[in-house]
Amino acid sequence: MNAQLARARAFLTSDLQSDRVVPPSGFTARLTVFSAAAMAFLAVFALALSFAAGRLADRWSDALAQSATIRVSAPEDQQERQVQAVLAVLETTPGIASARELPADETQALLAPWFGPDLPIETLPIPALIEVVEEGTGFDPEGLRLRLQAEAPGAVLDDHDRWRRPLVAAAGRMRLVAVASLVLIGAATAAMITLAAQAALAANGQVIRVLRLVGAHDRYIAQAFVRRFTLRAAGGAAAGTALAALMLALVPSVETGSFLTGLGFQGGEWLWLPLLPVLGGAVALAATRAAALRALKGLM
């Protein structure tokens, strides 16, 4: 453990001497840094989009799913009995948090868009409305319908499914797109860093040859390149991530009410960001190591 820590420290600080044997810069270096930065930048947005889509899907299903309505319209003399029967059924239905009959004024408010505020509700043969609040897990609407049919034939369940389904599907698809692009971006980044490392090593054929001929160990040569590239890729990715995070944090999140959600990170989601430079560095490390050892294998 301690040895590993020491190795890791040596890797980072190291004798800067040995780093000097690799040419300091050049276009492939810039290319690596820039690719890592750009791809990390894109990845942050894809990540944000995927989180936002996830939240959106949750909210949309929440907002619509957690309230269902049961309408009881029966001959006037049976109405009250059927309402009580429905409430009794609901009490024994798993997944339902609470249920209550809407008082007249709330029914009136609900109907106002259709009839105006002056509807004389008491004089009308309108049905009783029962508001059902679900638990997070939801309930089984088909089962409930069957039971209601038996206990209160005048009761009709409206679980807003019609409205909910396409919205949730939309949010789900958005999230799918975000995750897919995240995967794509990751794969493309890995391939680019790999190719950039290989290009740099190919361009440094003479350096490798000279080092090998003056008696450098493979380890020494590979390490010098690996350290360079890992730090470059990780640094580039960190810069890209930071820039994107800054932009997301600064862009004023349009206030969206409960129905929409801002594009950005919330709470623990921010913790995903430091992963990006780490992953970029890890890919660079593996790719450079493989490329360096391959280049060395061609030389005695």
Partner 1 sequence: MIELENVSYGYGGGELLTEMSLKLAPGSFHFLTGPSGAGKTTFLKLLYAELLPSAGRVTVFDQSVRGLGRDEIAELRRRIGVVHQDCQFLDHLSVAENVALPLLVADRPIDTRELVELLGWVGLKGQMDALPPELSGGERQRAALARAVIMGPDVILADEPTGNVDWEMSQRLLHLLVELNRMGKTVVIATHDMNLIRSAKAQVAARVLRIKGRRLHLAGADL
Q: Which residues bind partner 1 (CB under 8 A)?
A: 17-18, 20-21, 23-24, 206-207, 209-220, 296, 299-300
- Please report the beta strands in 141-297, taking only residues with DSSP state E, as ranges in sequence order: 155-158
Look at the chain and count its residues. 300
- Please report the beta strands in 26-66, taking only residues with DSSP state E, as ranges in sequence order: none
Q: How far is the CB of 16 from a second copy (least distance, A)?
A: 24
In which region does residue 264 sit, left (phi positive, over 0), alpha (psi from -120 to 50) or beta (all else)?
Answer: left
Q: Judged by CB, which is closer to partner 1: 9, or 81?
A: 9
Q: Judged by CB, which is closer to a second copy: 94, or 153?
A: 153
- Residue 49 binds: one of a second copy, partner 1, none (C-beta under 5 to 8 A by kind): a second copy
Q: How far is the CB of 286 from partner 1 (least distance, A)?
A: 21
Cα dist from 88 to 100, 134, 137, 142, 285, whole Å: 11, 15, 20, 17, 65
Q: How far is the CB of 198 from partner 1 (least distance, A)?
A: 18
* Nearest alpha carbon to residue 186 among 144, 135, 237, 248: 237
- Residue 156 binds: one of a second copy, partner 1, none (C-beta under 5 to 8 A by kind): a second copy
- Please report the beta strands in 62-110, taking only residues with DSSP state E, as ranges in sequence order: 67-72, 96-101
List beta partners, residue 101. 130
- Residue 203 binds: one of partner 1, a second copy, none (C-beta under 5 to 8 A by kind): a second copy
Q: Please return the burial class of 268, using the count of CB atoms within 10 Å of its CB with bins 0-12, 13-18 and 19+.
A: exposed
Number of helices and strands in the chain (H, E): 10, 4
Q: Judged by CB, which is closer to a second copy: 263, or 283?
A: 263
* Nearest alpha carbon to residue 240 among 290, 196, 185: 185
Tokens at 41, concatenated: 């930048």
- Residue 170 binds: one of partner 1, a second copy, none (C-beta under 5 to 8 A by kind): a second copy
- Residue 181 binds: one of partner 1, a second copy, none (C-beta under 5 to 8 A by kind): a second copy
- Residue 129 binds: one of a second copy, partner 1, none (C-beta under 5 to 8 A by kind): a second copy
Q: How far is the CB of 218 from a second copy (least distance, A)?
A: 20
Q: How far is the CB of 205 from partner 1 (least distance, A)?
A: 10
- Please report the beta strands in 149-238, taking only residues with DSSP state E, as ranges in sequence order: 155-158
- Please report the beta strands in 42-127, taking only residues with DSSP state E, as ranges in sequence order: 67-72, 96-101
Binding residues (CB under 8 A) for a second copy: these are: 26-28, 30-31, 34-35, 38-39, 41-42, 45-46, 49, 56, 71, 73, 110-111, 113-116, 118-120, 124-127, 129, 154, 156, 158, 166, 169-170, 173-174, 177, 180-181, 184-185, 187-188, 191-192, 195-196, 198-199, 201-203, 254, 256-257, 259-260, 263
